[in-house]
Homo-oligomer: A and B are copies of this chain.
Amino acid sequence: MSRKTLTPAQRRSEILRLLTARQGASIEELCEFLSASPATIRRDLDLLESEAPIQRTHGGAMMRTLRPADQDFAQRESLDIDEKRAIAEKVVSFIQPGSTVFMNDGSTIMAIAHAIVAADLEVFVATPAVNVATRLSAGSKVTSCLLGGIVRQSSLATAGNFTAAMAAQINADIAIISPDGVHAESGITFQSGDDAALAQRMSTQSADTVIVAVASKLQQRQRINAMPLSKKYSLVTGAGEDRLVGLREAGIRVIRIGTSG
């Protein structure tokens, strides 16, 4: 693909495409992908910043968030970004084209949304996360179904009875769930009862359930238990073995992925 030498305009267009697909990228990544020098990429980004909705950052650039309200949200997104991306790529490989997918919300789920768009998968996705749903519906083959309900400003997702009731009407092939904590004794846990109930419902109405969690979520026990650790679930994480003690034994199938590029 990136064999030939592109014209400057094509390169800039490609940068824009990459930034949109992944919400952001480092200069290093762009250099490698477009086989250009950092100086050139920097010049391109400077130029694009003035005529496209992107924002230069240290070491790269990201899509300009429409509203300043999303500021700290974007910050959270960049935490453990490499691990989340690695998890996302793995999870996407589990998704069959044409299937129906449940996803809850969170920055790891958002990373999966980006990966789905990048992979150009044709799927039906139901989610309570506003940002995930809009991301998926923007110029992709995904049919994105937003579960209705009360919008919580903290997470940009819906919650409550409406959300659960609507989820109850949908049957899926796979549920992808990012919990707040994974604990050897308590299993999959959440901070909010609504989130826990929704996760439970999504899981029972899907043929398969995949739990995704960055290392820092493991061995954490939050307020509400949603599901026990069971052989029916797969846990995809980038954590090292030291953070996994007791989890396998408690019954869950663990899929570790390497975070180093």
- Contacts from A to B (Cβ < 8 Å): 4-10, 13, 23-24, 26, 28-29, 53, 55, 57-60, 62, 67, 69-70, 130, 133-139, 143-153, 156, 158, 162-163, 166, 169
A145 and B156 contacting across the interface, CB-CB below 8 Å = no
Task: Determine how many copies of this chain the complex contains.
Answer: 2
A59 to B162 Cα, complex, angstroms:
43
Which of B8, B26, B58, B162 lies in contact with A166, CB distance below 8 A?
B162
- Min CB–CB distance A60 → chain B (angstroms): 4
A136 to B166 Cα, complex, angstroms:
22
Q: Could you say which residues of chain B place their CB within 8 Å of the CB of A5?
A: 26, 28
Sampled A-B contacts (15; CB under 8 Å): A7-B26, A7-B59, A8-B58, A9-B57, A9-B62, A10-B62, A13-B23, A130-B133, A133-B151, A134-B151, A137-B151, A145-B148, A145-B149, A146-B146, A148-B158
A241 to B142 Cα, complex, angstroms:
46
A59 and B8 contacting across the interface, CB-CB below 8 Å = yes
Which of B53, B146, B158, B169 lies in contact with A151, CB distance below 8 A?
B146
Closest to A134 in B: B130
Given contacts A145-B149, A146-B148, contact A60 B139 (CB under 8 A): no
A13 and B69 contacting across the interface, CB-CB below 8 Å = no
Q: Could you say which residues of chain B place their CB within 8 Å of the CB of A24?
A: 7, 9-10, 13
- Min CB–CB distance A74 → chain B (angstroms): 9
A146 to B128 Cα, complex, angstroms:
10
A226 to B234 Cα, complex, angstroms:
48
